[in-house]
Amino acid sequence: MLSKMSIDTIRTLVMDSVERAKSGHPGTAMALAPAMYAYWQFTMYYNPADPFWPGRDRFILSGGHASILLYATVFLAGVKDIENGQVVDRPALTLEDLKNFRRFESRTPGHPEYGLTAGVEITTGPLGQGCSSAVGMAMAERWLATHYGRPGFDLFGYHITSFCGDGDIMEGVAAEAASLAGHLKLGNLTWVYDSNRISIEGSTDVTFTENVAMRFESYGWQVLEVADGNDVPAICEALKQGREETSRPTLIILRTIIGYGAPGKAGTASAHGEPLGMEELAGAKKAYGWPEDAPHFTVPDGVQEHFEALAGQRGARAQAEWEARFAEYCARYPKEGDELRHIFAGTLPEGWETELPVYPADEKGLASRQSSGEVLNAVASQFPWLVGGAADLAPSTKTLIKGARSVQAPSNMVQEGAGYDGRNMHFGVREHAMAAICNGLALSGLRPFCAGFLIFSDYMKPAIRLAALMHLPVIYVFTHDSIGVGEDGPTHQPIEQLAQFRSMPGLTMLRPADANEVVESWRVAMQHRAGPVALALTRQNLPTLDRTRYASAEGVARGGYVLADCEGEPEILLMASGSEVSLVVGVYERLKAEGVRARVVSMPSFDLFESQDSAYRDTVLPPSVRRRVGVEMASGFGWDRYVGLDGVVIAMNSFGESGAAAELMAKFGFTVDSVYEQARQLLQKAD
């Protein structure tokens, strides 16, 4: 009786919240209430009194449109709030928060937002992202358990469960992630697939008639089916089987009726994305046997206490046992214990930068992808939980950690000694899933990087955007950053990608000019905890600038800095990022020899430069100097803020062409002679 009342309480809170908001998605939440109850009450190890407990199970509501299902459960379970990273003695959500569902500045937004509401493990909404990031969480758990496990000390063994729906399963990113999860034999992962066979346009019969069970079996998953979404014992049994299967991830196909109980809307698309309406709402409550005179947002006596007695007490006992075990572990293994404390706190290990190289001046120089690979390995030697890989491009992006093993299931002996605690992750040609998986790795405390060609960042952008929304410290290593790619042609020559990333709030984009700017870019990336960082690196060699003659590369930390200067106020400013900096240095030297007062400004990061105060920006780019040239082998979009109305932007206005890099640079005007002529024309103009 109490179980049914608890499930119906979730359902009625869902309906009342959506109705009061006059918007939302009640149907899925109504259908999944029994599964949510079964999972939280009988399966999940989670202590509501400490939502940050490292040993907790992770729950991901991939269909974030059903957010009210999670909010109602967080409220009923009594999850405590988080403030400034610490648990505080007040509820994460109150009944008043449910009444403010979807309202401005509420703690119950339309889709779950990580960092806003305790109990929300990840921001979800774009379909496929949540369940794909759950694969990253599962990989992180296996890494932690294998790397830090010692005889008698199984600190990690938590399970990751994602509720997903037809839309998630249709998305390509979920297919990519599921394929990799099957290959890696992630037995700590369960997806509960809410198969209600309804999408916004109606029955999924219009678009989605494949055999999902067979697809996932071919991926190497255990596939279970529960025929009735209201059968709590059957759901519990399937979840139990998923947890007990340690050599395969599990897909539970749960047959549900969207909008269950609503007399006219159950099983229809109209139950998906709009309030039921008062008549349907009343009819659904009647079907549940809910008291007809009960006011909206009623929580019957005993329901919250029921959650506390089951989910709460089980989680509290598990955490107490874990903490005692962890204390003994730290006493026995102090080095490993200290590393884990850093992981839990998200802090850098002591001495992480001690091996960073310093590059001498070299006219031939290095491709910035090459120097980046060297810096990555220098950092990795002092940073054990820095892990990552590429979308089948590690040899080209130079992102292999030398001497480290690959991340593989122990039975996948492609590489001798490979295991779950390897540091080189092979994502295959799955750029989108790679980025989503890195979000899960970061949310689990590891420090992930992933790599690919800059042009293929387009395949990753939805997951990168979520990393920026969640302020996750993921590092993206993008190489082949311009028409310098050459013969591969316009399909591989990025043009608009730099502008796209510079326009993304929360993402820091860095395009270093030489090997020493690469070092400083990695220093910035490793120290940056407030969001993701992307590096744009070259395929072609870049001269290593003589830092005894030009300014220190430490200026990278400020985004833009004076690299080469003159006596007095400059007559002209020459600005560039990346490979084009050495080009404008060549122009500077020619103008300087002619007696022109010129200044070179290296602009590795618009984002960091804009974060500086106006006094510093004006020192670098004096407002009184109106003759300005900006040079970048990409779209010129965004450079206007720095060159002004009187300046010139030398940039790309097409998708490039196939040909040798030198030929392309000559055609599109990226030579010392061409930029010099543009600068000379500006100097000849009257003030």
Task: Give the residue numbers marked as catalytic.
Answer: 431
Long-range contacts of range 399-405, CB-CB < 8 Å, 24 or more positions apart?
399/373, 399/449, 399/451, 399/477, 400/373, 400/424, 401/376, 401/377, 402/377, 404/380
Interacting residues of 388 by C-beta distance below 8 A, sequence separation 6+: 399, 423, 424, 425, 438, 448, 449, 450, 451, 475
Sign of torsion over alpha carbons 283, 284, 285, 288: positive
Which of 29, 25, 576 is closest to 275 using CA atoms? 25
The Cα–Cα gap between 624 and 492 comes to: 40
Interacting residues of 677 by C-beta distance below 8 A, sequence separation 6+: none
* Residue 243: C-alpha distances to residues 159, 316, 440 (Å): 7, 20, 19
> What type of residue is 30?
M
- Tokens for 277? 């309406």
Coil, strand, or helix at residue 580?
Answer: helix
* Residue 71: C-alpha distances to residues 21, 112, 301, 437, 477 (Å): 14, 9, 19, 25, 36
Point out which residues pair with 649 in neighbouring strands. Answer: 630
- Tokens for 163? 């509720």
The Cα–Cα gap between 164 and 141 comes to: 21
Secondary element (H or E) of residue 359: none
DSSP class of residue 651 equals E
